[in-house]
Amino acid sequence: MVHQIFVLLAALSCCFCCGTLAIENKDQHLRDLPCPPAEDIQPCVCTVIDSSTYDIEMDCSSVTTNDELASIFSKDFPYNGFFSLVIENNYDLTIIRQGDFGQKTFQQIHITSGSLQTVENNAFNSSYDTLREIDVENTNLFYFPFHELNLFTQLYRLDLQNNQLHGSPELTSLSLGYIYLTENPIDGIILNSLPLLDNIYLQSTSITLLPPGTFTDLPNLDYIHLGYNGLQVLEAGTINLQTSFNNVYLYNNDLTSIAEGALVGLKGGNLDVRYNQLTELAEAVFRPLMDDSVYVFASGNPLDCGCEIAWLVTSDTYMNLLDDDASCTSGQLVSELDPAMFDVIC
Ligand SMILES: *[C@@H]1O[C@H](CO)[C@@H](O)[C@H](O)[C@H]1NC(C)=O
């Protein structure tokens, strides 16, 4: 009896798998349609990722050589326009050469985690008018053709974080909104015309000095992340924003001084200078910011807390714009200082 039930159950579950298989096959067939024949592109795998727009993705994570990649994309496909190219966890591919993608175009390129070192000049040139996102992240990227950026007319997001990029990349683009260069040993950045630039991520680089003018004339910029760098001073004219409710992160640097006029235009936003070497929150620098409702995070600095901080301590308005953990060298919290004492002795 038990045996019979078991057989019955087995038969039933087999039926279930037959049903599932049949459905999957039907889907598979639908998915195949705008894609090139699977055998022409293996080990790349093509899928329709959006059945209403027929967006197709090529996943080439399993290619083993650059020639293999190039030979796949040199074939004639029913359509040349791909939505995305994905290469993930590939530790064989070290270079993308010019001409490797033939006439094929992409809207997004995602090459993440792997051994890629070089994107040659012109390597993505078939996609000058289509690429919206370039994401080459967590590889060993050493060379990227930054001088071509202005030719990518739709490019909105450039994410090259956690690589080996060095020097001082120079960027120009009428379309870029988001730039990620976090965790690269770059020692500078030159931002030319970037009218749509909204967010820039530059934490954990080798930047120790920002020349005046680095973050100026960027009308849409409202988020600058410079945490975990080796900045020691901020000179006048370094950051001048034109947006509102913006955020500037300078935490975990070695800042000993911020010049008057170094940080301008942070209306109603947040300024984070935690964990630096600032001994004062100079009135000339911080008062104009607080007058524009900027909230200042200043804990982790060895503040002197003498009369030079009276302007702050004696005003509830300003104190409400300072984080509660900001403290003096003595360890005393700025928020616990007695304003009456400052009124009398300063
Ligand atoms: C892209 O570069 C190749 C050289 O690798 C060149 O033959 C082709 O004309 C270029 N295409 C565009 C659109 O610039």
**Domain ranges within the chain, ordered by starting residue:** 35-300
**Cα 48 to ligand 1 centre (Å):** 28
The answer to whether the CB of 102 is under 6 A from ligand 1 is no
pLDDT in tens, 31-86: 466 899 999 999 999 999 888 888 999 999 999 999 999 999 999 998 899 999 99
Residue 71 near residue 88, CB atoms below 8 Å: no
DSSP state of 286: H
Residue 18: per-residue pLDDT: 42
**Cα 226 to ligand 1 centre (Å):** 36
% of the chain surpassing 70 pLDDT: 90
pLDDT in tens, 299-313: 999 999 999 999 999
Residue 78: per-residue pLDDT: 85
Q: Which two tokens stand for residue 151?
A: 């030719």
The answer to whether the CB of 125 is under 6 A from ligand 1 is yes
The C-alpha R_g of the chain, in whole angstroms, comes to: 28
What is the separation of C-alpha 314 from the centre of its chain, rounded to a whole number of angstroms?
40
Band (14; pLDDT cuts 50, 70, 90): very low
Looking at residue 275, its amino acid is Y
Q: Which two tokens stand for residue 72?
A: 């796949």
Which residue minimizes the CA distance to atom 2 of ligand 1? Answer: 122
Contacting residues for 235 by C-beta, under 8 A, at least 6 apart: 210, 211, 212, 259, 262
**Cα 103 to ligand 1 centre (Å):** 9
pTM for this predicted structure: 0.88
Among 133, 86, 78, which Cα is nearest to 103's? Answer: 78
The answer to whether the CB of 99 is under 6 A from ligand 1 is yes
CATH number for the segment(s) 35-300? 3.80.10.10
Which residue minimizes the CA distance to atom 3 of ligand 1? Answer: 99
Which residue minimizes the CA distance to atom 7 of ligand 1? Answer: 99
Residue 227 near residue 249, CB atoms below 8 Å: yes
Which residue minimizes the CA distance to atom 10 of ligand 1? Answer: 125
pLDDT in tens, 193-226: 999 999 999 999 999 999 999 999 999 999 999 9
The β-bridge partners of 135 are 110, 159
**Cα 102 to ligand 1 centre (Å):** 9
Residue 330: per-residue pLDDT: 93
